[in-house]
Amino acid sequence: MTTWFVSRHPGALEWAARQGLRIDRFATHLDPAEVQGGDTVIGSLPVNLAAVVCRRGGRYLNLSVTLPAELRGKELSADQLDQLGARLEEFRVTGRASLPTLE
């Protein structure tokens, strides 16, 4: 079982280190085909990739942070992530082959 941390942001990597998380693999991009049953993936993945992780038997922990509008799209430091209440939240994501048309 492998614990992944997926992020391209230095502040997020430092934040993870400060949390004392045991991380086996750091990646800036996740190829979900590499995820095995029992693996844990930590990061902020698009929902379709999180669904693949879950479908393959992995556990998905989202790095959640509530950002004010003025910080969106900006690099955040580990200190800023702490100040904003960054946390890990587990999600189980399932996908559907097709959805009804919204009217």
pLDDT along the chain (103 residues), means of 10: 97 96 96 96 95 96 96 95 98 78 59
Domain limits for position 29: 3-91
Q: What's the number of CA atoms in the CB half-sphere (13 Å) around residue 97?
A: 0
Q: What is the pLDDT of residue 34?
A: 96
Pair type for strands 87-91 and 59-64 = antiparallel
Residues 2-22 have pLDDT tens digits of 999 999 999 999 999 999 999
Number of domains into which the chain is organized: 1
- Position 102 in a domain: no
Q: What is the pLDDT of residue 81?
A: 97
- Position 96 in a domain: no
How far apart (Å, rounded) are the C-alpha atoms in residues 30 and 53? 10
**H or E, element range at 67:** none
- Position 97 in a domain: no
- Position 80 in a domain: yes
Residues facing 26 on adjacent strands: 5
Structure tokens, 22: 């045991």
Q: How far is CA 18 from CA 23, 43, 47, in A?
A: 12, 15, 26
- Position 100 in a domain: no
- pTM of structure: 0.89
- Position 12 in a domain: yes
